[in-house]
Structure 1
Amino acid sequence: MDLRQLEYFCAIVEAGSLSAAARRIPVAQPTLTVAMRNLEREVRTPLLIRAAPGVTPTEAGRYLHEEARRILREVANATTHLHEMARGAIGDINLSAGQVYSWGHLATVLNAVTVAAPDIHVRLSDPPPLEILRRVGVGDDDLGIVTTSDPGRLAELYGDRLEFRPLCELPIVAVLPPAFSDAPDPIGLDELRDQPWIVPATPPSFPGMASLMERMWSSRGWTPRVIRKVSASETSLPMIAGGLGVALMPNQIGSLAGRSVELRRTVETVPALIAVAVWQRERAMTPATRTFLRVLTEVHRDDVARVPQVRT
């Protein structure tokens, strides 16, 4: 029993005769006759009662007609679903994105994806940056978004197996305890040299916020006497609010603390962090992931034009 036999059988039952079905499909009537004879031989029971006015289904024929309509519907739905998957309108995506980017931009991206392809479902996680690179590298995630102080260095370290596309800048501000409520805006970094500094413990193998802070200290010719390490920039906010130190971080993260901390621009030009999309170089990208990446790039179209791209 094949799909064509089922289509012929349904057409005959619904048209009421072989001749009417032959005109509707259209298929030559002898072809329908042979197909029905072969089908009845295969299922070993009569399916049609033939009479001068036309044909009517037997009890077995009525059962087969109901099941055949269901099967043909499911095949049609599956075909449509596969076509939609092929053009990237349907699918599941595993996305890992750092919190710094997520708080500032991810909601806009997800809304845009929902508008462009509402049947794409995103499974989101927010591991540390090196874990994002690992997950993308081994294929656990289809796409990642990390924030880095040096996209070029990132490509040098991991470009043998990963592709990178810079998306946008994340401007940096000084985040200060409430005691700095009268501090000028902008504030010079030298005015903060004697303060304890709170630094995310980014590994040396990832150029992130920690390396950016070290670069700024070096440019000023000093290093803080007290450096407190935390797991991530957002983790430092309660410590800063409690007067335990100062930090540089993206404005989006600093704003999360509201009035419990003081945000100040810096007199010195502090390079922005760069949000970078990352995917596996050798892995074939699914159509849904291509759609997501296209929408992601469109959301940041103006930013991408301003951010230097990297070669891997």
Structure 2
Amino acid sequence: MNFRRLQYFVKIVDIGSLTQAADVLHVAQPALSQQLATLESEVRQQLLLRTKRGVTPTEAGKVLYRHAQLILRQCAQAQADMNAAGRALSGSVSVGLAPGTAAAGLALPLLRAVRIRHPDVVLYLNETYGMTLSELVMSGRMDLAVLYGGRTPVHGLSFQALLSEPLYLVGPDSLGPAPGVTPVRLIADMDLYLPRPYNVVRKMVDDACAGLGVAPRVLAEIESASTLKSVIAEGLGATILPESMAREVAATCPAWISRLVEPEIQAPLALCQSDHLPLSEPAQAVRDILLELVGDLPGNVLGDHAYKP
């Protein structure tokens, strides 16, 4: 399979038009069409569907597109690693940090540490929800992600346990005095604002309630930290968060936190990366720093990996 044809194919799919792709690639359209026809002949599959609006990949084309992205990315990494051999590490590294977790607190320490150790490495930090981050890692579009989960095997991904945080009920002062602890069965009588059911924290809450034969009363599903803070500040109801985020929310408005018990629910934070795509040297260096920083957090399961600048 010709490497350049793969590059052409990926660009055509990205743009969705043979004519526009030819302009971007500085290749005559008939020549580009011939390259595509040769590629389809090599793989013995139709890869693109021509429509009045442009081109879209067939199911076989979608499969090849995913693999081609990974192949091109690995080749680019290999070239970058060879160019950097014997020199200071340089290049881009993408790291996902799930919001509303202890991971979010790693952003500034990570930036500082990478700037000190590897000033030529450019970090791209993405704070979005866990499922999206894991999909980005799986597709090869992100190097690493720190997110809740990792206890269930996922094809294409590997997880390293980092720490565990207890879940807390967060309520406005208007609901009454702060209870020291709250049995899970009692949240069935509360107005709750929780994330969508696919969220790891929501799944753990739902499972704990199901084990007791009750169900959480969810008034709205919210995955925005700022909106949750506003909900609590307005006294509209309560939410459930990992300890680090719960303390952050309670510090911004008149609110209290109460640890959930009977049963206690622990949210596992994990480092996620591809189980088949090797990390570039800069990404490996950033991964090592991440593990050192996590070693300073309470509840970590890594041992003594304190970062020393």
One fold, TM greater than 0.5?
Answer: yes
2:242, 2:267 within 8 Å by CA — same for their partners in 1?
Answer: yes
2:302 maps to a residue whose letter is A
| TM-score, normalised with respect to structure 2 | 0.62
TM-fit CA distance, 1:133: 1.3
1:152 maps to a residue whose letter is R
Match of 1:163 in 2: 158
2:95, 2:143 within 8 Å by CA — same for their partners in 1?
Answer: yes
CA distance in 1, matches of 2:238, 2:192: 5
Q: Which runs of 5+ in 1 are unaligned?
A: 1-78, 307-312
Match of 1:14 in 2: none
After superposition, give the CA deviation of every residue in 1:159-216 in whole Å (9 maximum; x if it has no partner). Answer: x21111121223321101221351321233344331112110142xx6x011111122
Aligned pair count?
216
CA distance in 1, matches of 2:180, 2:212: 19
Match of 1:116 in 2: 117
Q: Which runs of 5+ in 2 are unaligned?
A: 1-81, 304-309
Is 1:199 equivalent to 2:194 in the alignment?
A: yes
TM-fit CA distance, 1:278: 1.3
Match of 1:241 in 2: 233
Match of 1:285 in 2: 279
Match of 1:44 in 2: none
Between 270-279 and 108-117, report the one with greater CA deviation. 108-117
From the superposition, tell whether residues 168 and 115 of structure 1 become closer, same or farther in structure 2 (CA, over 3 Å). Answer: farther
CA distance in 1, matches of 2:123, 2:275: 21
TM-fit CA distance, 1:232: 4.6
CA distance in 1, matches of 2:104, 2:276: 30
Instruction: Give runs of aligned pairs for residues 157-306 of structure 1, distance below 5 A.
Output: 158=154, 160-203=155-198, 208-232=200-224, 235-257=227-249, 258=251, 259-301=253-295, 303-305=300-302
CA distance in 1, matches of 2:177, 2:95: 42
Match of 2:145 in 1: 144
From the superposition, tell whether residues 116 and 192 of structure 1 become closer, same or farther in structure 2 (CA, over 3 Å). Answer: same
Q: Secondary structure at the match of 1:305?
A: coil
| TM-score, normalised with respect to structure 1 | 0.61
Coordinate RMSD, CA, aligned: 2.5
2:171 maps to a residue whose letter is L
1:212 maps to a residue whose letter is M
2:194, 2:218 within 8 Å by CA — same for their partners in 1?
Answer: no
2:137, 2:144 within 8 Å by CA — same for their partners in 1?
Answer: yes
TM-fit CA distance, 1:94: 1.3
CA distance in 2, matches of 1:105, 1:272: 20
CA distance in 2, matches of 1:269, 1:105: 29
1:171, 1:251 within 8 Å by CA — same for their partners in 2?
Answer: yes
CA distance in 1, matches of 2:261, 2:140: 43
CA distance in 2, matches of 1:239, 1:281: 39
TM-fit CA distance, 1:245: 2.0
CA distance in 2, matches of 1:165, 1:118: 26
1:194 maps to a residue whose letter is D
CA distance in 2, matches of 1:251, 1:198: 16
2:106, 2:293 within 8 Å by CA — same for their partners in 1?
Answer: no
1:233, 1:249 within 8 Å by CA — same for their partners in 2?
Answer: no
After superposition, give the CA deviation of every residue in 1:5-48 in whole Å (9 maximum; x if it has no partner). Answer: xxxxxxxxxxxxxxxxxxxxxxxxxxxxxxxxxxxxxxxxxxxx
Is 1:83 equivalent to 2:83 in the alignment?
A: no
From the superposition, tell whether residues 282 and 103 of structure 1 become closer, same or farther in structure 2 (CA, over 3 Å). Answer: closer
Percent identity over the alignment is 19
TM-fit CA distance, 1:225: 4.1
Q: Secondary structure at the match of 1:304?
A: coil
Match of 1:34 in 2: none
2:162 maps to a residue whose letter is L
